[in-house]
Chains A and B, each alone.
Chain A
Amino acid sequence: GQQLNQSPQSMFIQEGEDVSMNCTSSSIFNTWLWYKQEPGEGPVLLIALYKAGELTSNGRLTAQFGITRKDSFLNISASIPSDVGIYFCAGQEYSGGGADGLTFGKGTHLIIQP
């Protein structure tokens, strides 16, 4: 099936630093979503993007739906210890995504050093 390339795979940063991660696809998507997963829990939706070029913020988090419809990025400003976790991108292909809905990236593991 469709693959999403999410990078980086992991990030080791200092508290207070800004974070940036992105996802790219080989086909056009009509939906981009960003989830956060904490250890031992299910992913929780952070930001949903449904229009090309859309820029949406949720507190210190900002995500954008790329103009080409083939990419999205997530930025976290002034990171704090509770930002630790795995961040997943997910998208639905413009064709309707097939019968199985969303395609997920492999995740970015964020580790914050105090």
Chain B
Amino acid sequence: DGGITQSPKYLFRKEGQNVTLSCEQNLNHDAMYWYRQDPGQGLRLIYYSQIVNDFQKGDIAEGYSVSREKKESFPLTVTSAQKNPTAFYLCASSHPGTGEMSYTFGSGTRLTVV
């Protein structure tokens, strides 16, 4: 079955460390997105990519970096520059060319700074 997989489910990071969250999809979707979700908050867009080797900053990109070397993969690195990285991170993908826009989400990664 096609889907979008995030790993790991839980991640613990020491202050000052960089960590990378994985997002892989086998839906043949062109576009991929990273969102951050804090308790009681909505979804805030970190980065998005509409095509391989191209990506754009979202609303809260500071302290994060991404790459899109393959269509299937869109990893997110949380750098030491991110002052408050503890949050739930969601990856999504979509196929904008179909004319019927919707996102498919992964099951999320909960990052905790210890």
Contact = CB atoms under 8 A, between A and B. Distances in A.
A42 interface: yes
A45 B100 contact: no
Interface residues of B, number: 28
Nearest to B94: A101
Contacts of A42: 6, 90, 92, 105-108
B31 A101 contact: yes
A104 B44 CA distance: 9
Contacts of A97: 101
A36 to B, nearest CB: 11
Interface residues of A, number: 25
B1 interface: no
A63 interface: no
A54 B42 CA distance: 26
B90 to A, nearest CB: 5
A114 interface: no
A58 B27 CA distance: 23
B107 A100 contact: no
A48 B45 contact: no
Contacts of A102: 94, 101, 103
Nearest to A9: B40
Interface in A23-49: 31, 33, 35, 40-45, 48
A63 B105 CA distance: 21
Contacts of A101: 31, 33, 48, 94, 96, 101, 103
Which of A41, A100, A107 has the most C-beta atoms of chain B within 10 angstroms of its own C-beta? Answer: A100
Interface of B: 6, 31, 33, 40-43, 45, 48, 50, 56, 58-59, 88, 90, 92, 94, 96, 100-108, 110
Interface of A: 1, 31, 33, 35, 40-45, 48, 50, 88, 90, 92, 97, 99-102, 104-107, 109
A-B pairs with lowest CB-CB distance, top 5: A42-B105, A106-B42, A104-B43, A92-B101, A42-B107
